[in-house]
Structure 1
């Protein structure tokens, strides 16, 4: 680069489950402009929103970015027609309608064989399972699909006119061999597809901003664009979790524990997945909690005052101040089943120990306790009993001081909390800069020492774990 680093700007876009974010940064992570809006459920509206937010950020920052990175939720995408335009609705990762096809996939390939190739477990959210469902129930949609695009691929292609993806997104389709770094024709054949109907995996610059997109966004024509990949991993990168020894706790609608590893491990805890990391050289383990911020949003939808301008602020005030002992209520936070450890899609949200003396504030805190205890359990099992050097927490929910206070008392390792809710957008920008050689001068958040809290350890071990590991009601019914 010929420009002084201090004058360089980088743009990042993150299409999350709930919100779409765009921002412009300096290489040291200083944010010059940021915008966010609700993530649209329609493909055309989604990419229009992303480009609008990007344009507003570029205008406010005042300096055209030298590169743009785009990250997104992993499994959501859309079929494209022969002209590269969306051809049908978005296929949302939360749609569980392909459960039968997921079981069919497990029977056809074998769950262990499938995992050994893809690093994934057969599940309804995988694009492969949903393509199999389309083949059965909407064959015309699949027949007319010239290409598949994840939402990050779609937005990047809207800037460049070139469809490409990252290994971290390709690996979440259910049809990608993580060791060979290639799509598997035999897996795609289960849906009647072939590798040429999926976007090519490109490490580095996927394309450059076209003239029309430049006019629409304020970006310079020819600006490099990078598909930065899976949002949880991009956010981990931004938080400084880039090598083994550090673990990321990526908080959003879902919550993920991201653990970088040097190679594909021989054994992985049940429910965890493994795939390529955003650096293009290593791998990472991911353990997921499907409804974390999503559970809080569900609670707000039922208890927040109607018409309140900021339900999340209302909730923060409801459950605060942070300093308080455990509520005595145990919440099993399985609004969308349990992914790991001990995967069980039939597990449901349940509340134990609720008494007449408890208040709505107690229930709100108990939800945060249950979510934090579930993450503690995931950390304990994901690391195989070996505690990581540091757990770095980031994402929108990390702004809730009570939630972070509870996490600190349930995490027996140093905890670093990264402020701000745009981690994946920052990671996307940094990865775009990395692709063109811009030095990364950001500094990771410093960790805080563990907080000894015997009463929280007791609540976790004597109340949460026995309930979480007990047979589910459905198991007991089947045994009768």
Structure 2
């Protein structure tokens, strides 16, 4: 069924992000019909209720019911479920760092190289595997009662359909999934005292994972039996919406955190030195992707605004935009920022690396310091991109940039000046919500059109002043070992 007498062809998407939960209804070409968002709750019941409410609002505003629903989410956040499918305790969030000792234990017990060879990941406190081990030691009753694990997207799927399943791209972020065998690794799960049957079955993004129940139909306005598809990791779903759908393209997904993503045909040989770059399955079911993360991107800007925006300011982002001005041809400030609010994950992992400002002079103003924050974030993203290009052996012709921070004109001007290749800044609606909707359509045979991108900027070679700022000031600073105790 592709529309017709019953109305236009429409598809719905839901994305559970770190900061916001979003829902939308779209035409297959990506045109928005209805979109809603709200703050992401910190508890599983609130998360499910918010997702269904936003979806119901979008369905109510659309001229016809969507033919399918796709669900994506942040990767490592989830919750144990009991035998009745009810959450046990609070969500275990990817930003929770309590399991850092358990992550170190994984590296020591398994070996960092064998662990990476199996999972494509590096031991980290944000991995569910590390937090399951932590639970086993610190909250054994919760571990004993755990019948299943559910990621954020899995919770929404279960709420819509009564079926619990997960996506390969989410399973691959648990730390207990073999990316070549495409199956859970019993030996890794054994570290946490868990079995493969306690993890949800894996359903690819080109298959229907479940169908809406009658109760959900009443609650949301969706017809009972509407297909629901797991679009998986939200950064990958957003890349799909941006047209980054296979090798040869690179995506820069911006939000509270920022991710650089490069699809590759096969798992590449990795350098002997740690890079922090992870490898996982891509959404097409055939290729893989390199992923580098910056844990505080929009989050660092929020941190800065909390400290420097005027007290009682009704719109900090508007104030920030006005502060930075409308310079169309920005020059480097001369201030170098190491943008590591929560350590550095890639391309040279250093969990103890801290946020720092260098080169502030008496003539600098608050606007210069704010601009320098954006410069540091953009230079860090360039470093991640160039590291991926070295590993993949492919230099992208352009980089697709998308996400909430693209609304900042100053940030996008600086990014265009810093990056080594032209950037294509995509409209805000080309995000994980749209990607989830398009992947849902793909699973039921509705083909979306290849996105039409705006012209890249800039088309000229990189400016010499920015090259000097990046290569002669930023890189030497961030690659020099930090002093002990810094």
Residues 16, 73 of structure 1: 8 Å contact kept: yes
1:464 aligns with 2:474: yes
2:303 to 280, 298, 303: 298
Distance 1:116 1:436 in 2: 34
Deviation digits for residues 267-298 of structure 1, max 9, x if unmatched? 25711000001112211000111110110011
1:325 to 306, 309, 331: 331
Deviates more, 1:303-312 or 1:196-205: 303-312
Q: Say if 1:322 and 1:277 are closer, same or farther in 2 by CA, change over 3 A.
A: farther
Distance 1:132 1:450 in 2: 50
1:261 to 261, 264, 267: 264
1:450 aligns with 2:459: yes
* Correspondence for 2:343: 337
* Correspondence for 2:293: 288
Q: How is 1:352-391 mapped onto 2 (pairs within 5 angstroms)?
A: 352-384=358-390, 386-391=394-399
Superposed displacement of residue 442, structure 1: 4.2
Distance 1:186 1:392 in 2: 38
Residues 259, 286 of structure 1: 8 Å contact kept: yes
1:117 aligns with 2:107: no
* Correspondence for 1:221: 224
Deviates more, 1:407-416 or 1:227-236: 407-416
Q: How is 1:18-417 mapped onto 2 (pairs within 5 angstroms)?
A: 18-203=19-204, 204-267=207-270, 270-323=275-328, 324-384=330-390, 386-417=394-425
Distance 2:124 2:107 in 1: 9
Superposed displacement of residue 206, structure 1: 0.6
Deviates more, 1:44-53 or 1:314-323: 314-323
Q: Say if 1:422 and 1:139 are closer, same or farther in 2 by CA, change over 3 A.
A: farther
Distance 2:58 2:281 in 1: 30
Superposed displacement of residue 422, structure 1: 5.5
Distance 2:376 2:21 in 1: 27
Deviates more, 1:65-74 or 1:322-331: 322-331
What TM-score do the two structures reach when normalised by structure 1?
0.97
Distance 2:464 2:190 in 1: 54
Deviates more, 1:459-468 or 1:130-139: 459-468
Residues 16, 72 of structure 1: 8 Å contact kept: yes
Residues 120, 274 of structure 1: 8 Å contact kept: yes
Q: Say if 1:455 and 1:2 are closer, same or farther in 2 by CA, change over 3 A.
A: closer
* Correspondence for 1:430: 438
Residues 329, 354 of structure 1: 8 Å contact kept: yes
Superposed displacement of residue 471, structure 1: 1.0
* Correspondence for 2:483: 473
| Unpaired runs of at least 5, structure 2 | none
Count of residues in Structure 1 that have an aligned counterpart in Structure 2: 476
Distance 1:446 1:247 in 2: 16
Superposed displacement of residue 446, structure 1: 3.7
Q: What RMSD, in angstroms, separates the aligned Cα atoms of the two structures?
A: 1.5
Deviation digits for residues 82-130 of structure 1, max 9, x if unmatched? 1111111000000110000000011110000000000000000000000
Superposed displacement of residue 152, structure 1: 0.4
Residues 396, 421 of structure 1: 8 Å contact kept: no
Residues 72, 229 of structure 1: 8 Å contact kept: yes
Q: Secondary structure at the match of 2:459?
A: coil
Q: Secondary structure at the match of 2:401?
A: strand
